[in-house]
Structure 1
Amino acid sequence: MPDLIVSLVDPKSLDSIMNMPMRLLIEGMESRSLRTIRPDQIPPSRQFDVDLEGEVLEWIDENPSLDVDYSLREQNIPTENKLELLLLMCHWASSVEWRCWDARLFLYLEPSLDYEVKSTESFLSPSLWKDFSTAISSYDRSSFVESVVMDWMSRRESLGETMDPSSDPRILPTMESHQIISGSLFDIIEGSRLEGNSILLGREYLEARSWHLGDRTLEDIIG
């Protein structure tokens, strides 16, 4: 299954680009001048400026009936087409993008929740992420990372797996990976909770209408 993607979206940046007439959007993407309205990048990574500029301009070429004097929301084009551009705009307004495969998501979320995650489909539920955000609000970064590592160690031991690095040379690199990835996740959730940024939630190859921004689907947002 494709990686789950969690991004931190700056509402002001998104509003700015969503309310922009298509003419200014096209000019800004072609001249690269809209890079100034992207939020500052934070670790570990996000989609590159040049890649998103190319995707937006490709979308423009594929929608020749656009009225360049109006914003995306005002366009008289199919909703599915609007959603494709809205998703690109969300990526543009993101300060960070975090990707993870499902098996690891159980490790990172379940230790802080007071219930078991029933299926991988639950990872696309905004309510689960709201519960997770509330649950880790009492942690600091190091405590959260430690809880993830301790849970991972406990799961290994319950399966009869060794925790001796001399017996399994992958243990220390795997532990370090869990520390880095879980720490990045904590930073994103904390950034959403404390700074008022929105969580963009979806999967690679997932149709745009099924992505969530906060507790709303993109389809709800575009109307």
Structure 2
Amino acid sequence: MIETAVLAAFLAFCRIGACFMFLPGLGSARVPPQIRLFVAVAASLALLMHLWEVIAPHVTRQPGPLLLLVGSELLIGSLIGLVARYYVLSLQFIGSAIAMMIGFGMAGGGPAIEEQEPQPAIAVLISFSALMLLFVLNFHHAIIGALVGSYRLAPVNALFDPQSALVDLTDTLSEAFMVMIRLGSPFVAYGILVNLAIGFINKLTPQIPIYFISLPFVIAGGLLLLYIAIGTFLSLFADGFFPVTVGR
């Protein structure tokens, strides 16, 4: 009985822990691995009592089938975490594009919230605000609910389906980037119109360095547009998170 309980807890930790390692925020490079590990262990033990009936019957002591179950659970948990992480990574992409469109692309920034690579300050601000909004809206509760529901859709004995996982990841990327393109479309239009106008002016007065003169005005206009649109931007981002990720 003790061995069954330990193996069941380990199988639960494989799926839940793998998901938590890739989750936005908890899976960030800013969070120490020890914290992520302890949170994953705590969540696994807390959910084990609710998942006992769907995990314990499939526990086996044979090394071969047990390793197969462990690998399958790790891949399923990673898939759930990656679906949520791809949505936030697409926001980082459009944040960097917005920074470039409003003239902040060349400005020195700091490390990204989720990764170690440097990112423009505007993109970091947008990513951090969106991530904080997700935590305020308890997206981690929805992820935990999705993990519990995943045992109904993908039981332990069903094993990992690579084709279905690839379809889910592809659809998530497609829908997430469509959402982000719609959110960033005002800034894309602003960048195109401003650069087009500056190009015409530069043709009329080629002896004047129009680009360097106009850059402060381009940044000021972009910041004003960001100030006006940031509330709606974050609201639409949060509205699209659940249908694109856990609603799948």
Give the TM-score, by structure 1 length.
0.28
Q: Which has the larger radius of gyration?
A: 2
More strand by proportion, 1 or 2?
1
Q: Which structure is higher in RCO with an 8 Å CA cutoff and minimum separation 6?
A: 1
More helix by proportion, 1 or 2?
2
